[in-house]
Amino acid sequence: MSSFKILSSTRVTRQGGVLHRCQHQSNSTACDMMFAIFLPHSYHESSPTTPALYYLSGLTCNDQNFSQKAGAFLHADAAGLALVLPDTSPRGEAVANDDAYDLGQGAGFYINATQEPWKAHFQMESYIQKELPAVINENFPGINPALKSISGHSMGGHGALTLAFKSKISGETDWKSVSAFAPICHPTACPWGKKAFENYFGSVEIGLAHDATELLKQLAEKSLLYDDILIDQGLDDEFLKEQLCLDDFESTAASVGQTVTIRRHEGMDHSYYFIAACVADHIDFHAKKLK
């Protein structure tokens, strides 16, 4: 009955860390989904003790960008942390798409679409919050289902922050910690987010329930704040001012009492060079919370 299969397995650290590329038929997105998982050398099938960091990629990316460009495996191996690397959207000929890079395939925005032609497959929120963790736990029994954290880049930073906040508010899933690289912090106030919410939900207003800066207020009202959130941001990032709106998130966090460690880096851009420069600190941040 399970459609899960491992397509390739590659040793990526000298110590014995392995990268598996996997495929499975998703109920949430009604199509085949690819993901990758890095297992540290300390992982053992017989002992469900390995914590996992889920990393959500940005616009145009798939499950491979982080694997190939972040240079994270040696750090994750040393920290004993598994890395789960999902795709950014449903894909395939039967799946709706758009010629623009910021809508449709490669641009799932980690929400459940309610509008045609998107709603049949663009159910990435359900996929990341529920289905993928279940697939991981079933097929990688050395992962501890209770020890998972979430991070992401750009659109995936929006995904990490909002999925973490929403799961705390609903009480359904427990992401132990959350961090982000150059996240879209306030999507209802930026062109990328407005376009996504208009298309996937039919209005920007509905998107308020999927906006990290807005959700932060609910998190505070319910006394569910994280003890810390780590965010890195390059100051030569071409998207910082118009699309990412970090200042909005920072000021709201300050006003509601959410501690956020925001590090702004001169000379760094929006690319994976920036992620590779900072990823070890995110791994350490999450590994500590998952201990």
CB of 66 to a copy of itself, least distance (A): 12
Which residue of the set 151, 237, 248, 282 is catalytic?
237
Query: Known catalytic residue: 41?
Result: no
Give CA–CA dist 57/62, Å, rounded.
7
C-alpha distances in Å from residue 13, one per residue of 42, 47, 105, 277, 282? 12, 21, 32, 19, 19
Q: Which is nearer to a copy of itself, 12 or 53 (CB)?
A: 12
CB of 276 to a copy of itself, least distance (A): 6
Residues at the site binding a copy of itself, with contacts judged by CB under 8 A = 9-14, 16, 18-19, 67-74, 234, 236, 265-269, 271-274, 276-278, 280
- In angstroms, what is the minimal distance from the CB of 273 to a copy of itself? 5
**Shortest spacing between CB 207 and a copy of itself, in angstroms:** 32
Active-site residue flag, 3 = no
Of the residues 28, 89, 149, 154, only one is catalytic, namely 154
Question: In this complex, which beta carbon is closest to a copy of itself, that of residue 140 or of residue 272?
Answer: 272
Q: What is the 3-state secondary structure (H, E, C) of the chain?
A: CCCCEEEEEEECCCCCCEEEEEEEEECCCCEEEEEEEEECCCCCCCCCCEEEEEEECCCCCCCCHHHHHCCCHHHHHHHCCEEEEECCCCCCCCCCCCCCCCCECCECCCCECCCCCCCCCCEHHHHHHHHHHHHHHHHCCCEEEEEEEEEEECHHHHHHHHHHHHHHHHCCCCCCCEEEECCCCCHHHCHHHHHHHHHHHCCCHHHHHHCHHHHHHHHHHCCCCCCCEEEEEECCCCCHHHHHCHHHHHHHHHHHCCCEEEEEECCCCCCHHHHHHHHHHHHHHHHHHHC
Is 20 catalytic? The answer is: no
With respect to a copy of itself, which residue has the nearer C-beta, 171 or 267?
267
Active-site residue, selected from the candidate residues 24, 186, 270, 282:
270
Minimum distance from residue 274 beta carbon to a copy of itself (Å): 8
In the complex with a copy of itself, the residue whose CB is nearer, 156 or 234, is 234
Whichever of 70 and 128 has its CB closer to a copy of itself, that residue is: 70
Q: Do residues 264 and 229 lie in contact, with contact meaning Cβ atoms separated by under 8 Å?
A: no
Q: How many CB atoms lie within 10 A of CB 279?
A: 26
Q: Smallest distance, Å, CB 64 to a copy of itself? A: 11
Q: So which residues are the catalytic ones?
A: 154, 237, 270
